[in-house]
Structure 1
Amino acid sequence: MATTGVGPRRWEIIGRKGGPWEKVDINSSTDGQPSQWPVNNPTWKARYRRSSEERHLIHLAKAWMKQRGQEHIGVEYYLDKLPDGYALFETNQLTGSQVFKRLFGHPSGKYYDSIVKFEVHFLWLMSGKQGQCDCVNCGKPQVKPVVRRKSRPAEFENLLPDRRRDPIQSDSNVSSRSTSAAGGALGFTSRRPQRQMKPAGAPYAVDADGQEDVIKDLLRKLEIRKNDKAGIEDNIREENSIDWRAEHEFESYGKGLIQQNLTLISQQHSFAPRIGELVLWTPQFLDGHYLMIDTEMGEYKYYSFEQKCFHGFPKWRGGLITQVPIATAMDGPVDFPDIQNLVDKQNSLNTSGFRVETFPDPNEEIDKTASKQYRYVPLRNIRPLSHWQILLRGIPRAEWHPSIEYALTCITSLSLYEKFWFKGEWPNGMIFFKGLYIGSEFIMAGDAVRLTPAKTPAGKVRRCTDVMVVESIRLRLLDIRPEDVLPDTPLLAPASSIIFVGRAFTLDIRRHYQMQGRDPDAAQTVLPSPLPDEEVKTTFRPVGTGGYGSWYNLHDPEKKYVVSYDRVLGRLYEAGAVRLWTGQLQFKPKVGEKVELRPELDFDMGGIEGGRRYASQTDERMEEPEEGQLGWFWADTRAEALDIQTINGIEVGKYHGVRDPRTLEQWREYMKLINGHTATPDLFKYTSSFPSDFPSGPGTGKRGRKPGSKLINGKVVMPGDPGYEEAGNKTLAEPHSTPRHKTSQLAGAALVSTDEEDEDEEDVVEDSAQVFPSVERPSMHEAMRRGSPIRQQKKVHARVHSKAQIMGNPDDIEDDINNDEEDDAWYLDIPPVRGGTEESEGGDYRPVGDYD
């Protein structure tokens, strides 16, 4: 190792951040193959380009030094290079704007999509390839393509048994599969065409973890019925996935944890934070103070009513909600007073508060320790992340906590939640979801969301006036191709989009669907009526939505309104909560003055749009968009979208070390047993290559000795062979039966059957398999409890006698046993063992039970 002094042109982190830095030289051991790089493949050459390996060098060096026990605190390490034959490439997402970074060079032709996955293989290489590598690429055997063999040579035809001449010797129970295997063992191939056979019950397609891909199977069914105008509709249930079964109730087993979470959310106010949301929070809140706006400066600070003055800013952080109050039965649900006050609760904060974890850097795959900085806080310590421009006003940028910018980096992340229904008509399909994480918020069906205003001419103020009550969240699959249905293809469709479907409303009467292109100020114009108050209360889930003003239909009520995900600003909060956040209720009106306080829908629109622009420029997981465009990062899960390592102290996503290929395979075997598959499909992976016509005769298909043969002195003797008749007339010595209880040979003689007993053997009921408890055990225990001396029995190794000796001289045999006992009398006088415990003086264990 050597201290480095690299220049700034090559690295962005090494030698520029932290330090001191030390270079670690790797071993020459490698299995990398440059031929597996995408630049050497004409099909992929145009899509991939080389990418910076800096983060891989840092992470792998730290892991290797830690494994060797040479890591020093405060020292940063990086590798001199990757193992020979490995290189990092990046490619753009086909339907999005993010960038996928992939490490190529593995002999299997597969790539590594994260540093953590390659770390296992790298450490195995540095160990000199000792043992077996358990990485995701080495742990799964590569399926070999089916190769059609050449026709059987004509000269081998005479070696085959002629089934037409000897049909009696063929076994009808032998399957063609066994015959084919036998033929391969003899050096020739079957006439039947070979094909890759799937075991019974095997899924049509699997994902990267080996789990069943139910969407691929639904696309296959859709393609089969592509000529049917009705298409297909079906539930989405992953009953063979242990992750899905752990969160759903299936056939009266398990708990519907996801549905419980959705039900809890639907019963709460819209302003209450939800699990997985990004927020602004402060671990400490000044006692006796309130967060209020300084009207002179337009800044949010601590205010004391006793001292009637402001006392500085809260120390805001970016955080992740990982737990919500669970003691709602005793303390009640989160309500409006919790926004500003510290409401008395019967339970402590670990059950009545929110657990918030400081958010780590999503661009940093090495250090995720910020998540360990967590605290249970009340609602007054928390604000939506969209308020960042409002709450941070007046605080210098240099004093911002780093987690704030980390949280803003994920403002353009997307992850769908809980797919449950599929509907399609070839070549298009739709997957229905129950929720969507968009940026910092979670939106579910039934929520009311605010919509971004349309573009306006330069210089004109854009105002948010439209909202939508979400009825369904869908992922559209457009122009599905036959190759997309294949189980090995990564894409579901060449194009896809997320849409919201529901009813839309507006506060602007000019945007009423009957007022399009008409002047509401004209005398001849008939103005439409707003929604009745009762309809507003039943249509909108947030309480007090009528406080925003009069609502009008944005479209024909008989139809549905569809918008794309990028038109959603965020949830529609309760009007009372917005008044508290913006300070409208901070001061009482003068006596006799009637003020109508109507909050604005776009009070935080600047923070949302500014955060999306910031995320598009700083999120390194996607390609930098063009000028004026936004980039969105699509992820499969919320953990992937935020790139977090732990939630509530538990590793998740790609950082979960337990989810290795061997464990996942074991879980799948458990699920087969739970689902009632006693004979797992793995039993069909193996077939016997033993020839069916050897050695028991041509065409028999059975193994073992021929009926009538005998085994004499380790040699098989067939009928008619020399010595067969002589061996049949000899009486072979039978082995002695082993009694189940310890006894003498004299008593054992009674267990040996005689010739007379053999004649009546059919009338005897066989009960030797039954084992009865010893009758001496209780008496021995009783003697030891009372302290009386007792002679322990010793295992006697008796001399072996024949049956004739036992029946002829029983007295001599009994004397031999007695003599053995006298010789070992010293062993029988050993007192019982004492148990050293703290329950009685002297260490004697004296249990008090039924004997006292």
Structure 2
Amino acid sequence: MAQRGGGASQWKVIGKSGQVWQVRHINPYSDGSPRHWPGKPYQPSSEEKYLIQLAKAWVKQDGLEQPGVEYYLDKLPAGYAVFEVHQPGGSQVYKRLFGHPSGKYYDSIVRFGVHFLWLMSGMHGICECVHCGHHRPKPIIPRTRFTFDRVVLPKEQNRVLYEYDSVGSTRSNSADARHPGGTSTRPQRQIKAVGAPYAYDEEGVEDVYKELLKRLEAAQGSRRGIEDDIREVNSMDWRAEHFWDGMGSDLIQRTLTTIEHQHSFVPRVGELVLWTPNFLDDHYLMLDEESGEYKFYSPDQNCFHGFPTWRGGVVAAAPSTTGSDGPVDFPDIQTLPDKSNALNRAGFRVETFPDPNNEVDKKASKQYRYVPLRNIRPLSQWQMLLRGIPQEKWHPTIRHALTCMTSLSLLEKWWFNGDWPNASIQCKGIYIGAELITVGDTVRIMPDASTKARKCTDVLVVDSIRLNLHDITPAQTSPDSPLLSSASSITLVGRAYTLDIRRHYQMQGKANVMQSKLPSPVPKQEVKTVFPPVGSGDYGSWYHLHDPNNRFEISHDEVLGRMYEAAAVQLWMGLLQRKPSKGQPAIRPKLDYDIRAIQEGRRYATQVDLRLEEAHQAQVLWFWADTRAEALDIETINGVEVSKYDDIRDKKTLESWRTQLRILNGHPVPTDLFKFTSAFPELPGATRGRKPGSKVVNGKVILPGAPGYDEAISDHIADRDEVQPTPKHKTSQLAGAALVSTDDEEEAFEDAEEILSTVEDNDDKYIGKRIKEHKDPGEEHSLDDDNTELRTYQQRWGAAFSLLESDESNPEHVTRQDQSPVPQPKQERTKQQIMSNANAYVSDEDDWYGDPIPIRGGTEESEGGDYDPRMESD
């Protein structure tokens, strides 16, 4: 804790009493914590008297006193601070020191002096202060009681008390205090539970940022300000993504570590991309040099075969089998390397991107596929990839994706530091438009608008991402204020380099550059170490844009995008389609190959995004969001409801989560804890199921005590030995998982209940018969006689799985009106039926966008999105 209530210039005694003053630095021992500091109406107070008196006691204990010398401490122990509160209705001010682990305060310097000397001794032994539990109480001195000369009668006693109370008593039990609305003039102690949050957000979760701002305000005037980690231990969302107190898992850090060890051209979760669901076999996406268009090219036929069907999408999942299949590498950009796993594990899950301006229709997110990397391109390449395709043929999701080109959201806020009235919050990542930028990435810097040549030549190796809070006022530290500061900005700090030798920091500002001594470029070995992307030296010679001992800072709107590997850009741009002529060097990639597309996309988003204010034609506005889900305004990602569309985040569920977290954190909980038995709403009506002892007779339930109940009991006992019940089969978790993998959750659960009940009520022989009846005529099944386990599995659950198989000829064969628990055989259409309605069966390549979603999602070719194009060639 640094000096509060002003610096040395505001001291009234230290250095101004004519004595020789000597500062004594405290030892780095403390058990104080700022989270025990009080809120309003307490205000920070001067610590000058504490610094003088504590230093005097410390010097006296150590025997270092010198005549004519006054001592004072440089600061109080960390976590301790002095606050003051005014007496209600009076002019007296109470000064108290807070920060003790017990949550209690010291009301005098003498009482805190015992604890202070124990801290300065290295916290050895047992503290004997009033709050550490080892206080030695002084002997009680009995008071002399006032005695009456005569006995007071009851009536006289009542009269005396009445007269005493009527003389304007200030006691808390006076008549004024007992009346509604009456206030006591006695100073009231501010009761604050240990660990109670200072402020809450809109969901009732502790607002740690308001708490940090309050601490920053309390530390104003100090020399160092405050620095602390950001931990939201009372937030269920934060606890689900971080490891804390022996529980949880660092999901975000695990993802960031994975990103750090992969190439920058690999798509990341949450990024907006261009993707095509269909890729022609034995073809490559190449540049037609005659027309400048990107088309499918067949090397066997030596010709181009049309454009891909580009769509806008969001990356929902990345490959999870990098351990067995290896990381995504350069061959994945154009080819389909051999993988030991199917695409639902070795591919990217890309979901069609819905309209962010439409809060009602979000069904496009349910249309997804698992595709390899060759089907995906960065959204910044939309101009060159769509060249030659008329705009009326563009898929609508492309414009949906371009609408979010000016969206911003920070990722993993982890560090807070500030010096009043400014502060900064450091983050580990930021979504800028379509891309995710993390610490350690190399980003391209937008060229200055004042320069004549609009070329990108500068890059920045990001060391930190900061949210800067400017001009914080005391009113904004209040829990009632929705703002954190008067102004804010996002900046990226790191080391900057340039390809233009004229922009070298030693060449800037010189009139005649050609006559100056040319600086040497960054050594190639250093380039390999400093730049994370592989092959950064292929862009050219790099020079320092600033003094290497300093750091370079840019704003978020100056970021053009990630700098990709040079070989990846060459593959995308078609620079490697032809070998260079002898004696000619290879064509180097450019940093600004997509600069026009990014600038046009940001201007388009400013004009189209309804969440932004109206802007001028050339102006670019940014939409700041708290999360990536809010920035994209998506309802689901990877099949999970997120953001404001998550129905489970109701008031009751949030209170249940907070209660469970209080238990995990060791805080007191309400006595009605068991009311939170479920996070889901209860079904209306009575409890489901039959009452104990009820019997079913001829399909009718007879309750105990009802007419005919005794006869039913006797008949059941008589027939128990004659009729043997059919043994039921055990249910399988695998079958249950398959049954609920539908696009409609309610239908899935209803179908699962009916199918499971049918499977349980029939024996193996009956199920095997139904499987045989449902089998397609052209499909043959063979089982090894030795493989009895596989045969038993197919006999038991084949009927359940057969209901969920997608019928490509009739994708709507499973409806709510026709949900038969018995598998129905496939009805073959006659030639007359086909010819009578031939137009109904002529499909278009884009029909899948408006068709109902397949039962298990993914693709039309498979049941789980694990379509592998290589299997078609067999």
- TM-score range (shorter-chain normalised) is 0.5 to 0.7
One-letter amino acid of the structure 2 residue matched with residue 633 of structure 1:
F
1:549 to 524, 540, 543: 540
In structure 1, distance between residues paired with 2:158 and 2:291 = 101
Q: Offset at 1:237?
A: 0.2
Q: What SS does structure 1 have at the residue aligned with 2:423?
A: strand
Asked if 1:837 corresponds to 2:831, the answer is no
**Distance in 1 (alpha carbons) for counterparts of 2:368 and 2:265:** 21
Which residue in the other structure is 1:651 paired with? 641
Give the structure 2 partner of residue 436 of structure 1: 430
Letter in 2 for 1:246: A
Where in structure 2 are the equivalents of 1:321-720 lying within 5 Å? 321-456=315-450, 460-518=452-510, 522=514, 524-590=515-581, 592-680=582-670
- Which of 1 and 2 has greater Rg? 1
Q: In 2, Cα distance between the equivalents of 1:420 and 1:161?
A: 66
Give 1:767-806 correspondences, 5 Å limit: none
What letter is aligned with 2:488? Answer: S
Letter paired with 1:469: V
- Amino acid in the other structure paired with 1:325: P
Specify whether residues 547 and 681 from structure 1 end up closer, same or farther in structure 2 by C-alpha distance, changes over 3 A only: farther
> In 1, are the aligned partners of 2:580 and 2:586 still within 8 Å (CA)?
no
Q: 1:839 to 1:531 in 2, by over 3 A?
A: same
2:282 corresponds, among 283, 288, 292, to: 288
TM-score normalised by length of structure 2: 0.58
- What CA distance in whole angstroms lies between the structure 2 residues aligned with 1:425 and 1:379? 47
Match of 2:769 in 1: none
Q: Secondary structure at the match of 2:468?
A: strand
Distance 1:202 1:359 in 2: 42
Q: Which amino acid aligns with 2:278?
A: Q
Q: Is the 8 A contact 2:409 2:432 kept in 1?
A: yes
Does the C-alpha gap of structure 1 residues 302 and 489 become closer, same or farther in structure 2, counting only changes over 3 Å? same
SS at match of 1:473: strand
AA aligned to 1:556 is: D
User: Do the aligned residues in 1 keep the contact of 2:176 with 2:182 (CA within 8 Å)?
Assistant: no
Q: Is the 8 A contact 1:199 1:681 kept in 2?
A: no
Q: Matched residues in 1 for 2:161 and 2:349: separation?
A: 78
- Match of 1:601, SS? coil
CA–CA distance in structure 2, aligned partners of residues 206 and 410 of structure 1? 30
Deviation, 1:649, is 1.4
Q: 1:190 to 1:446 in 2, by over 3 A?
A: same
- 1:584-619 C-alpha deviation (Å, 9 max, x unpaired): 0011234x3432221000001111111001001000
CA distance in 2, matches of 1:678, 1:300: 64
1:536/1:830 CA distance change after superposition, 3 Å = closer
Post-superposition offset of 1:486? 0.3
**Identity %, equivalent residues:** 59
C-alpha distance in structure 1 between counterparts of 2:440 and 2:605, whole Å: 28
State the partner residue of 1:308.
302
2-structure distance, mates of 1:180, 1:300: 89
| 1:197 to partner: Cα distance | 5.8
Q: Determine if contact 1:451/1:464 at 8 Å carries over to the other structure.
A: yes
Give the counterpart letter for 1:625 in structure 2: A
Aligned to 1:215: 209
Deviating beyond 6 angstroms after TM superposition, the runs of 4 or more aligned structure 1 residues are 158-161, 179-183, 185-189, 193-196, 829-832
Relative distance call for 1:402 and 1:526 in structure 2 (3 A) is same
- Given that 1:354 and 1:379 are in contact with CA atoms closer than 8 Å, whether structure 2 keeps it comes out as yes
| Aligned CA distance change for structure 1 residues 412 and 832 (closer, same or farther; 3 Å) | same
CA shift, 1:195, in A, is 9.2
Q: How far off is 1:517 after superposition?
A: 2.6
CA contact (8 A) 1:498 1:565 kept: yes
Q: Distance in 1 between matches of 2:429 and 2:163?
A: 67
Q: Is the 8 A contact 1:248 1:256 kept in 2?
A: yes
Which amino acid in structure 2 is aligned with residue 329 of structure 1? G
Specify whether residues 456 and 428 from structure 1 end up closer, same or farther in structure 2 by C-alpha distance, changes over 3 A only: closer
Q: When the two structures are aligned, how many residues end up with a matched partner?
A: 531
Deviations 1:229-278 (A, max 9, x none): 21000000001111100000012211100000000000000000000000
**SS of residue paired to 2:585:** coil
Unaligned runs of 5+ in 1: 1-147, 150-157, 166-175, 684-825, 844-852
Cα pair distance change 1:579/1:159, threshold 3 Å = farther
Q: SS where residue 655 of structure 2 aligns?
A: helix
Aligned residue for 1:634, secondary structure, equals: strand
The code of the aligned residue for 1:575 comes to A
After TM superposition, list the pairs within 5 Å mapping 1:69-148 onto structure 2: none
Shift of 1:227: 1.4
Cα distance, 1:192 vs structure 2: 4.6
SS of alignment partner, residue 365 of structure 1: coil
- CA deviation string 1:267-306 (max 9, x = no partner): 0000000000000000000111100001010000000001
Separation in 1, partners of 2:180, 2:161 = 16
* Runs of at least 5 residues in structure 2 that lack an aligned partner in the other structure: 1-87, 90-156, 165-170, 674-712, 729-760, 762-874
Q: Which moved more, 1:460-469 or 1:315-324?
A: 460-469
**2:461 is matched by which residue type in structure 1?**
V
Pairs within 5 Å for 1:244-323: 244-323=238-317
Determine the structure 2 residue equivalent to 1:794.
Answer: none
One-letter amino acid matched to 1:540: F
Q: 8 Å contact 2:176–2:183 — kept in the other structure?
A: no
**TM-score computed with the length of structure 1 as normaliser:** 0.59
* Maintained 8 Å contact 1:180/1:189: no
Alignment RMSD: 3.2
- Residue 206 and residue 391 in structure 1: after superposition, are their counterparts in 2 closer, same or farther (change >3 A)? same
Distance of aligned partners of 1:330 and 1:193 in 2 relative to their CA distance in 1, 3 Å threshold: same
Query: How much does 1:633 deviate?
Result: 0.3
**SS at 1:320's partner residue?**
strand
In the TM superposition, what is the alpha-carbon distance from 1:198 to its structure 2 partner? 5.4
User: Are the aligned partners of 1:520 and 1:527 in contact in 2 as well (CA < 8 Å)?
Assistant: no
Distance 1:681 1:536 in 2: 63
Q: Secondary structure at the match of 1:216?
A: helix
Is the Cα contact below 8 Å between 1:202 and 1:681 reproduced in 2? no
Which 10-residue stretch deviates more, 594-603 or 495-504? 594-603
Q: 1:163-242 residue pairs with structure 2 within 5 A?
A: 192=186, 200-242=194-236
Relative contact order, higher structure (CA 8 A, sep 6+): 1
Aligned to 2:243, what secondary structure does the other structure show?
A: coil
Partners of 1:430 and 1:651 in 2: how far apart?
A: 32
Classify the secondary structure of the residue corresponding to 2:428: strand
Q: Which residue identity does 1:618 align to in structure 2?
A: V
Q: Is the 8 A contact 2:659 2:669 kept in 1?
A: no
- Is the 8 Å Cα contact of residues 222 and 232 (structure 1) preserved in structure 2? yes
Provide the C-alpha distance between the structure 2 equivalents of 1:180 and 1:534, rounded to a whole number of angstroms.
84
Displacement of 1:626 after TM fit?
2.5
Q: Contact 2:500–2:543 at 8 Å: present in 1 too? A: yes
